[in-house]
Structure 1
Amino acid sequence: MIDGKSYSEIIFQPDISLGKLGIGLNILARWNEDGFRKKDYDDAGNIIRYVRWAEKGDKPLYARLGTLDRAILGHGFILNHYSNQGTDTSKNILGSEIDVNLKNSGVETVVNNITDPRLFGGRVYCKPLKMLKIDIPILSRIDLGLSGVTDTEPQQGNKDSLTVYGVDLGMPIFGNLLKVYADTAKIQDFGHGMAYGLGGEKHIGWIDANLGYKIEMRNLGEKFVPGVFNSLYEVMRPGTSSLSSAKKSSGWYGETSLGILKAINMEFSMENFKEGEPRVHGGLKVNSELISRITKKNIGVSFSYDQVREKGDNLFNLNAKNSVTTQEIIYGLNDNVILSYIYRGIIDKNGVKTKTASLATKMAF
């Protein structure tokens, strides 16, 4: 129902990869007895789902314009797995991620919508000792980062901007296997928090598996929420009012991921605080290569769940408030064309449910 009128709709989302270049489209058709709804094509952002160059962390350039699914700045203490899509998933948002990664310095940027910008984020970082050509074992690897994110309208009609800025420090110990780090951040006019931890990743050759992990302790002052810009931020649009009730607390945050034989990928993250509303995320993806060995069909499935937990909520309660559930089933028509069915269920802070389903095609050459 739009403007008091009912519409039928079809969403076509081709996804094309050409080397480092990735292009995704979002072609929407709505119609009723009066014909097609032409307003859906007034904004170019509704047609272009994303254009991507390279992957996050690649040198010297990573860029993505369009839908942002899991944007992150630094270690994620301020902006973590941010998605620029709200409850209306049929409307594509033309956001941007642009990173420049040089040998000893770099910059990361995020904008929610370049056609109507509201949220801006950035991080600059460097390896100060290496830039000064000071060679000290292990210590020369230290990187220092400065981050800031601001939302000029964090709640519909609320012009009280939400700004968070911080400093981070990291030092690899054993290559990618172990990195220690620390973050501190301040929400302007509200509270302050800090975190310190370790993380890394390891390839296990004998089972062809990739294991990633992060464990950190968090000390949070009053009126501070870590990772406030996250996967549920645009769904909830909490504004600044919710920060006033955030209590001083401490606790831990952990995340882990496991990919086996390039066929099964699992990820899980969770917060545990004495006070507040911790978040939980889980995901499972079974790639088509595994199922095809059994069924001889190119079929893959994936599932993800995000929730901001209230006291008394059960873990992975799929009907909980402040949650997003996404399911996808893919079917390979041939080696280059994949048909995808995507279901997304959203339950906002008031318990209002929004469900969307779409069919998409993905092409790779």
Structure 2
Amino acid sequence: MNRSKCVATWIGMLSLGFALATYGQNEIAGETALSYGGPPSPEEMALSRGELSGFGFTFINGEPFLRFQLQPEIDLGKVGFGLGLVLLYSSSEEGEHTILAEDGETWDDISTILRLVRYVRYGHLSESFYTRFGALDFATIGHGFIMSGYSNYDRRGLRLNLSTETKKAGVETILNDISAPTVFGGRMFVRPLQQKEGGIPLLNSLELGGTYLTDIDPDPSLIPSGDPLIALGVDIGFPLIHNKSLRLDIYDDVAALNTKPETKAEEIDEVTDVAMGNAIGIGVSLSQALFKVEYRIFGAQFYPTIFDYTYDAAKGVAPDFLGMDEADADQARQGYFSMIAVRPIPQVNFVATFEDYTNTEPKLYLGITESGIVERTSFRAFYLKRNIGEPDPGFPEKDGSEDPSFFEDLVRLDSKSAFIVRIGYEIFPRFEVAVLREYRFRRVEDAAGKSHFEPIQKTSVEAGFRLNF
């Protein structure tokens, strides 16, 4: 067993141990479907940031700025919204004064202006009606075989989930950018055998789903023809066990991507350009934890969970960014995906995913939030690393990037990584000092006016009031 397989096995055992450790703490609240992430919700964890209004300093790729921000957040139960006015001020030796947006952008783009509204929402993810305009982080559609952990970075998008009260039928949708949408689509699901009263429990919760997601501006190396990237999927799932303390689900997803080059079969005159994949999974949902493990198998040119956190940033370097050279991409592959979302104590939320397949390098996601274990302090961290052990395609000339070891690459930040950590301390009620370190992506435009994403290193020291109402 190689190193990556050892790590995958270890994380899987650790995840199951965390899940079993929380067994029976509390009753499951209502109907908890795996499609919506389970308790705690990874997507809601990523979105619950709690920003400050005040001043500070920011360094972007080593360049200093004075920072002024107004970021109130209002929660009225069903309705909530947050603003995101951040101004970065700098002056040059020539006496020029510049005021830029949060990531150092100029104020001449509609997407930058839309960032003033951080979000507006109605409802919550687990409810029958939920919609959100604004920042999208760790967005997942269905079981996540096509989209999981997707982020629209500095853009403002739209999320809409709608279902009947009993979840007999519903739809979940996403649009990544209101001003210039490229990635959009959703999933419809139905429980055809559900009955209001009585019925067989297993059949009552039988769920069938269908997914359509597209990117109308995909990377040319994925779709050389210039056509949109199209992902289609069908899924089925039902619970084997469902009571107040435990829910055990099994599910099966089949997906197709138009990423396979068009070829004509020798014996029959037909064109085939569809790459196929399949994921069979089991999920354990407890009062304070969710554990999932999937066995995935897919053919040539199929990319599992193609819409993830780094999807947009990978444009321009795929398929190398996906951990495959041309020969590997033409081979069938298989492997495992695992996820844990757990709240071991009320003040801590933890999420981890790990996936590893043949002919590719593994991918790891970690997220944690903490508030109140140490009096007046808060902590939030997020880390993603893909193609662990592979060279950095964004900086191939960088020392040590040609042939890194698994563990060396695991802790190194590069264009295959995303990392955010924030530590806050409350001086007195509502007034807080915080340090924020980020390694993520921002959108830039080239000379031809075409936008793409580049890595950004950012350090901020903030002092201000937490205006949450």
Interval of TM-score (by shorter of Structure 1 and Structure 2): 0.7 to 0.9
Q: Which residue of 1 aligns with 2:65?
A: 8
Alignment partner of 1:269 out of 353, 359, 362: 353
1:155 aligns with 2:219: yes
Q: Which residue of 2 aligns with 1:28?
A: 86
Q: Which residue of 2 aligns with 1:248?
A: 332
TM-score by length of 2: 0.65
**d(CA) in 2 for partners of 1:24 and 1:338?**
18
Q: Which residue of 2 aligns with 1:217?
A: 295
Q: Deviations over 1:220-251 (max 9, x none)?
A: 11111111101111222257756865231111
Q: Deviations over 1:243-280 (max 9, x none)?
A: 86523111111111221221122222111212223311
The amino acid that maps onto 2:117 is I
Matched-pair contact (CA < 8 Å) for 2:277–2:296: yes
Matched-pair contact (CA < 8 Å) for 1:268–1:281: yes
Distance 1:146 1:9, change over 3 A: farther
Matched-pair contact (CA < 8 Å) for 1:40–1:46: no
**d(CA) in 2 for partners of 1:256 and 1:177?**
15
Q: Which residue of 1 aligns with 2:459?
A: 357
The amino acid that maps onto 2:383 is Y
**Structure with the largest fraction of strand:** 1
1:237 aligns with 2:331: no
Alignment partner of 1:93 out of 144, 148, 155: 155
**d(CA) in 1 for partners of 2:338 and 2:227?**
32
Q: Deviations over 1:279-324 (max 9, x none)?
A: 111123222x2111xxxxx211122210112444327323354011
Matched-pair contact (CA < 8 Å) for 1:339–1:362: no
Q: Which residue of 1 aligns with 2:74?
A: 17
Matched-pair contact (CA < 8 Å) for 2:341–2:352: yes
Q: Which residue of 2 aligns with 1:313?
A: 406
The amino acid that maps onto 2:338 is G
**d(CA) in 2 for partners of 1:259 and 1:338?**
25
- Aligned-pair CA distance for 1:140: 2.1
Alignment partner of 1:174 out of 241, 246, 252: 241
Q: Deviations over 1:147-195 (max 9, x none)?
A: 0111111238984421111001111232352111110101114211000
Alignment partner of 2:107 out of 40, 57, 65: 40
- Aligned-pair CA distance for 1:129: 1.3
**d(CA) in 2 for partners of 1:347 and 1:241?**
18
The amino acid that maps onto 2:369 is K
**d(CA) in 2 for partners of 1:178 and 1:362?**
40
Distance 1:74 1:308, change over 3 A: same
Distance 1:270 1:174, change over 3 A: same
- Aligned-pair CA distance for 1:13: 5.6
> Higher relative contact order at CA 8 Å, sep ≥6: structure 1 or structure 2?
2
Look up the SS of the partner of 2:312 in the other structure: helix
Matched-pair contact (CA < 8 Å) for 1:11–1:26: no
Look up the SS of the partner of 1:129 in the other structure: coil
Distance 1:105 1:181, change over 3 A: same
The amino acid that maps onto 1:170 is G
**d(CA) in 2 for partners of 1:100 and 1:36?**
44
The amino acid that maps onto 2:373 is L
**d(CA) in 2 for partners of 1:201 and 1:134?**
23
**Bigger-Rg structure (1/2):** 2
**d(CA) in 1 for partners of 2:458 and 2:385?**
18
TM-score by length of 1: 0.82
Q: Which residue of 2 aligns with 1:329?
A: 423
**d(CA) in 2 for partners of 1:153 and 1:11?**
35
After superposition, residues 32-181 of structure 1 pair within 5 angstroms as 32=91, 33-37=95-99, 39-40=106-107, 43=110, 44-59=113-128, 61-85=129-153, 92-102=154-164, 103=166, 104-130=168-194, 135-155=199-219, 159-175=226-242, 177-181=247-251
Distance 1:41 1:52, change over 3 A: farther
Instruction: Indicate the percent of aligned positions where both proteins have the same amino acid.
Output: 25
Distance 1:96 1:361, change over 3 A: farther
**d(CA) in 1 for partners of 2:123 and 2:197?**
30
Distance 1:11 1:222, change over 3 A: farther
Look up the SS of the partner of 1:77 in the other structure: coil
Q: Which residue of 1 aligns with 2:268?
A: none
Q: Deviations over 1:18-48 (max 9, x none)?
A: 1233322221324434444485265231311
Distance 1:198 1:152, change over 3 A: same
Distance 1:211 1:80, change over 3 A: same
Distance 1:362 1:69, change over 3 A: farther
**d(CA) in 2 for partners of 1:211 and 1:301?**
20
The amino acid that maps onto 1:75 is H
Look up the SS of the partner of 1:306 in the other structure: strand
The amino acid that maps onto 1:272 is D
Distance 1:241 1:345, change over 3 A: closer
Q: Deviations over 1:181-217 (max 9, x none)?
A: 11010111421100011113212xxxxxx22100111
**d(CA) in 2 for partners of 1:140 and 1:251?**
31
**d(CA) in 1 for partners of 2:434 and 2:78?**
22
**d(CA) in 2 for partners of 1:239 and 1:164?**
20
Look up the SS of the partner of 1:139 in the other structure: helix
- Aligned-pair CA distance for 1:139: 1.6
